[in-house]
Amino acid sequence: MRPFFSASSFFVFLCASVALPAADQNWAAYLGDAGATHYSTLTQLTPANVARLQPAWTYHSGGADANNRSQIQCNPLVIEGVLYGTSPKLVLFALDAATGRELWRFDPTAVAGSAGGGGVSRGLAWWQEGGERRLMFSAGRFLHAIDPATGNPIATFGSGGRIDLLDGLDRDVTGMSLASTTPGAIFRDLIIMPMRLAETLPAAPGHIRAFDVRTGARRWIFHTIPFPGEPGHETWPADAWEKSGAANCWAGLVVDHTRGIAFVPTGSAAFDFWGGDRHGDNLYANCLIALDAATGKRKWHFQFVHHDLWDRDLPAPPVLCEVTRGGKKIAAVAQVTKSGHVWVFDRETGESLFPWREEPVPKSMLAGEKTAPTQPRPLKPEPFARQLFTEEEVTNISPESRDAVLKRLRAANPHVAFDPPSERGTIVLPGFDGGAEWGGPAVDPRGVLYVNANEMAWILTMVPAKTAAPVGSGAALYQQFCMSCHGVNREGNAGQNIPPLGPVAQKMKTADVLALFATGKGVMPSFGFLPDDQKRALADFILGLTPSAAASATGKAAAPAARSPYATTGYNRFFDPEGYPALRPPWGTLSAIDLNTGEYLWKKTLGEFPALTARGIPPTGAENYGGPVVTAGGVLFIAATKDEMMRAFDAKTGEKLWQTSLPAAGYATPATYSVNGRQFVVIACGGGKVGTKSGDAYVAFALP
C-alpha cells in the first residue's frame, strides 16, 4: 500500500485551531497519561535541534543476567524532578531526574514471601490526594504500596504494605500462576489491576478487579468468564466459570476520568491453541470492555476474535483520542491488535467509527475442535502489517534464503487468514508478537496515531498428546506444561529467551528444581498446583533421571486438569537458514495514521541489520518491542529495535532526524520530561530479548 501524504494538506491540518493543554513537565502515568497517549506537551526539542541530543546521565540499576535472559521493559514515571523505575531484578528505585543520582531503592525480595528477582515490570502507578502520595508497584503476584519519599512500604495497605493478587478471584486458584507485569490504572481512590496468567490449563480466571489504594481491599470484580446468570455465560460451556482460565487483561488499561469509564483489553482463553473444552465465542476473551470505573459494571464490549485459537491477545492498552466526523469532535478510543489493525470506537456507545464486517473463516481439522464460523475484519484503516504469506512475500535477501524458505512454506498449510492450528504446520502472520505489541501506539491531539510493528511470520505446529505416557507421568506433564516453551526435545528457544534444559541437568539437583516449581521465576510460572508426586515426576524427567519410586507408583493418578488431546511444538519464528526472517523486508515498520480519515500520512522502515547493510542490502527493519513517544515539539522518539539504537523522527514527515547506539537494546517505551527548563528523554536499556545482550542502564538524553 502506498502511504498517503500531502505536505500542504498536512500543514493546514497541523495549524488548525486545536486546544492544547498547558505544557506538563512530568511523565506522571504509565505511557504518559491516563489515556496512554504516549504524548508530551513539551516543545524544547524540535526537528531543528534534536540532532544535537547528547547523553545527560546514565544510571546502572544492577541485576543484568550474565546469560542475557534478563530484561527491563519499564516506562518510568517522572514527577516533580524525581524518576521512579525498576531494575532487571524488579528492584524499585528513585533518582534525581536531572542527574541520575540514586535517592533510594526498595527490593521486594526483602519482604518475606514476596516475589522478585526477575521477570518484567513495565511501569508503575502514581496516586495522590492532597498531601497523600503512593507508588503502586507490582512484583510477581504481589501489589505493593510504597511511600515515594522514602521507598518504604505503607504498612496500612493490605498486609504490611502489599496484597496478594491470587486472593479474591472468586474461585480456588491455589498454586496457580499469576504475575502483574503491567501497572494498574488509577481512578479516584481505586487501582484497577491487569495480570498475566498461565496460557495452558490449569489457569486462573482473568477477572478484572479494582482495589482500594489506601487499604488494598477489593472494591469490585468483573467476571471475564461469566458466572451463571451473567451476560455472556451462554458463550461458554456451562461449567467454564469453574474450570476455564485466562481471558485476562495483561497489557494494561486506560481510564476516561471525565466519563468514569475504564477501557480494558483482554487476551485469549486457555489453552491458547485448542478450544475443544470451551466451545462457543468465549466472551469476554479477546474483547475491549468498557466498564463503569467506579463499580465494574459493563457498559459495552467488542470482541475482536471469536473462540481464539491463535493467541490473538489484545497486546497493548487502548489510547484515548479525539477524532472529527462531519465537522464534529468525537471522544474516541483506539485499539491496535496483533493482527496489525487499528479499531476506533465511540467511547460512550462502542460504535465503530470505521466500517467492518464478519467474514467466513476455515474450519479446524483437529479432533474435538469447533472453530467460530466468522471473524470480524475492519475495512479501514488498511492494516499496518502484512496479512498473507504468499510465495511473492518470500525473502529476497539471497537466492539461497529464498529457496530454503519456499521449500518450508510449501510444506505447511497454504496461508489464509484465520487458518486454524494444524498438525501440518500453520503460518501465523502477523506473528505471536504482532503486528502491534505491548509497547502500543502514540496519538497526538489532532488524532494522528503512530504505531511501530513487527513483520514476522511464525509457524504453529500441533502434535497429538502422547497417549502412551501415563497420565501424571513426567513425560506427560512435560508435554502438557513445558514443551511449548522448552521444545519437543528440551532444546529451548533462543528467540524467546527460553534456555535449553540439558545444561539445567548439569547444574541443578532435584531439590533445586522442586523449589523452582513452587515459586516460578521470571516468565516461568509456578507449578504449585501440582501434587508433590507429580512435581517429583516432572523434575526427574527434566533432569533425565530414572523416575523415582514415589512418582512411578502414582503414575496413574488423575491429572490436575483436563488434558488437551494436543500440544504444540512451541512458539517458533519462521527464519531463513541465516537466521533472518523468512518474509521479504521490511521486518519492522513505523506508521502514522490519521484517525480522522483512516488514511496513512507516512510509513517508514524501523531498524536494520548492519551485517546486511554491509552486503549492500538497504535497511530491512528489525523486530521491535516497546512503543514511541510523540511531543508537541513535533518529534517522535523510539528505541525498541534489536539493533540497540534510539531514534528520533519528524512526526510530520517520518524523516529520521537522529539516532544513537544504546548500551543494550531499549525494549521499553521512553519517557520525556523537563527539569529546570531542560527537556530530557530517557530510555531503559535492558536488552535480553531475541538474542540480544542484557543490560541494566537507564540513559537520559538532553541538549548540551
Where are the strands (E) in 158-297, listed by range? 162-164, 178-179, 185-187, 190-193, 196-197, 208-212, 218-222, 245-246, 254-256, 261-265, 269-270, 287-292
Predicted pLDDT at 112: 63
Per the structure, the count of domains in the chain is 2
Q: How far apart are the first and last CA of the chain?
A: 41
Predicted pLDDT at 467: 54
Degrees, nearest 5: CA angle 7-13-14: 85
Q: What is the pLDDT of residues 317-372, one digit of tens each?
A: 999 999 999 899 999 999 999 999 999 999 999 999 999 999 999 999 999 999 99
Domain-located, residue 6: no
Q: How many CA atoms lie within 13 A of 45 on its CB side?
A: 31
Residues 205 and 327 in one domain: yes
Domain-located, residue 203: yes
Domain-located, residue 330: yes
10-residue averages of pLDDT along the chain (704 residues): 36 38 86 98 98 98 95 98 98 98 96 68 97 96 98 97 97 94 98 96 96 98 98 98 98 98 98 97 98 98 98 98 96 98 98 98 96 98 98 97 96 95 96 97 98 97 75 72 74 69 74 75 72 80 69 44 79 96 98 98 98 97 98 98 98 98 98 98 97 97 98
Asked if residues 136 and 162 have their Cβ atoms less than 8 Å apart, the reply is no
Q: 3-state class of 377 per DSSP?
A: strand
Return the DSSP state at 687. E
Q: Tell me the pTM.
A: 0.90
**φ/ψ (deg, to 5) at 512:** -65, -45
Cα pseudo-dihedral 384, 75, 183, 497, rounded to 10 = 70
Last residue of a domain, one of 333, 352, 379: 379
Residues 246 and 373 in one domain: yes
Amino acid letter for position 489: N
Domain-located, residue 328: yes
H or E element that contains 480? helix 474-481
Predicted pLDDT at 496: 62
What CATH number does the domain containing 261 carry?
2.40.10.480
Predicted pLDDT at 320: 98
What CATH number does the domain containing 526 carry?
1.10.760.10
Predicted pLDDT at 516: 75
Residues 345 and 475 in one domain: no
Domain-located, residue 669: no
Residues 471 and 373 in one domain: no
Grid coordinates belonging to 590: 513505523
Predicted pLDDT at 499: 75
Last residue of a domain, one of 330, 356, 379: 379
Predicted pLDDT at 198: 92
Residues 364 and 474 in one domain: no
Residues 275 and 373 in one domain: yes
Domain that holds residue 247: 199-209+224-379
Domain-located, residue 103: no
Residues 374 and 242 in one domain: yes
Last residue of a domain, one of 316, 350, 379: 379
Domain-located, residue 231: yes
Q: What is the pLDDT of residues 513-534, one digit of tens each?
A: 777 777 677 667 777 777 788 7
Residues 245 and 369 in one domain: yes
